[in-house]
Amino acid sequence: MIGRLNHVALAVPDLAAAVTLYRDTLGADVSAPQALPEHGVTVVFIDVGNTKIELLEPLGEGSTIRPFLEKNPSGGMHHVCYEVDDIIAARDRLTASGARVLGDGQPRIGAHGKPVLFLHPKDFMGALIELEQV
């Protein structure tokens, strides 16, 4: 059911500092920041050839990544995103197998303009999973 690794997301406390580190120290090509208030984050993407790195900074008081950064103040690996062909079929299959789909279970439009869903980290060995329909 899952396909390619679309991105690995890192939550960071200071996006500008993270961009400087990736661009100037690691020599990466970093996209312009994109504010996504409906997801409570500001993001940049870094194309590393075989996948992308997503850097996430909290946006707004209710941002879902604030509790993560409280537990990991210097930042850390937040989620992995796998591509799926049919996100509704994937959701229904996962729900039937007992996995918890986060939120109201309805896909939302993610940073790439495509539908995304999240799966509870406790159901996947401690790793938060995002699914993106491609």
Ligand X SMILES: CC[C@@H](C(=O)O)C(=O)SCCNC(=O)CCNC(=O)[C@H](O)C(C)(C)COP(=O)(O)OP(=O)(O)OC[C@H]1O[C@@H](n2cnc3c(N)ncnc32)[C@H](O)[C@@H]1OP(=O)(O)O
Active site residues: 130
Sole binder of ligand X in the list 15, 69, 87, 116 (CB under 6 A): 116
Spatial separation of the C-alpha atoms in residues 71 and 47, rounded to whole Å: 28
Q: What are phi and psi of 13, to 5 degrees?
A: -80, -25
Does 78 bind ligand X (CB under 6 A)? Our answer is yes
> Looking at this protein, which amino acid is placed at residue 92?
D
Binding mask 51-70 for Co ion (x = CB under 5 A): ---x----------------
Nearest residue (beta carbon) to Co ion:
9
Q: Is 24 strand, coil or helix?
A: helix
Q: Which does 46 bind (CB under 5 to 8 A by kind): Co ion, ligand X, none?
A: none
**Which residues are near ligand X by CB under 6 A?**
9, 36, 39, 41, 43, 54, 56, 64-65, 67-68, 71, 78-79, 81, 102, 110-111, 116, 118, 121-122, 126-128, 130
